[in-house]
Structure 1
Amino acid sequence: MPNYQCAAWKVFVVGLTCSRYRVMRLSGSRNPAGIVVTDPTIVDSIAVALSKPTNYAVNSNGFAWAVGTCGTGMELSAAGTMCTCTNGYILRYYDIYVNWGGIDGITCSAPSQSITVSFE
């Protein structure tokens, strides 16, 4: 992830201070609708894990969500695994390598794409 993207991500996660999020969406250019978590307790817990950063794992809406350490950075995964090249929905941030994740497909050496994490 280039430095400017790391800086933007840091600003984003530091801003996750609301304790009343209702929905988290992980989407991107390969799946603009993305996948969602709709349990407010789980959404808030993911927001806290991203902002601290700390490890967190839970099953919700048919996906195994996890936040945790991967290599030199952190990862947000809905693929049921951490720090592996599993196909699915994964964002690895601050990773200095090419395995920054992917949406609805390969997550290591993935093709160029946008990845969006949003909280409502």
Structure 2
Amino acid sequence: MIQITINRNRSGLIQSFTITGHALFDEHGKDIVCAGASAVSFGAINAVHELTGIIPSIEQGEDGFLSVAVPEDIPDTVQEKIQLILEAMVISLQTIEEQYGEHIKITFKK
């Protein structure tokens, strides 16, 4: 199962997110749940960089591990753009979770 943790700060802003595991929906290369979660998360990271010029802290590892953290000291206007992108990512991931909840789980932490 893909486990996604969305970490919010006290103000409710997305501070970081972590993705681990594999969906095991289908064999490697045919797993639409894994492909969807990967496309949405990497698309959001790329959008943050391209649209704001901010490069989040990114850590990747084996077994589907991805950890992304938003820098703290950035202008409010840039933070607003980043948050919009990340909230869109969360909505897309929740849509996948609604259809394939046996293979992907999202947890929110403050």
- Structure-2-length-normalised TM-score: 0.26
Q: Which has the higher contact order (CA 8 A, sep 6+)?
A: 2
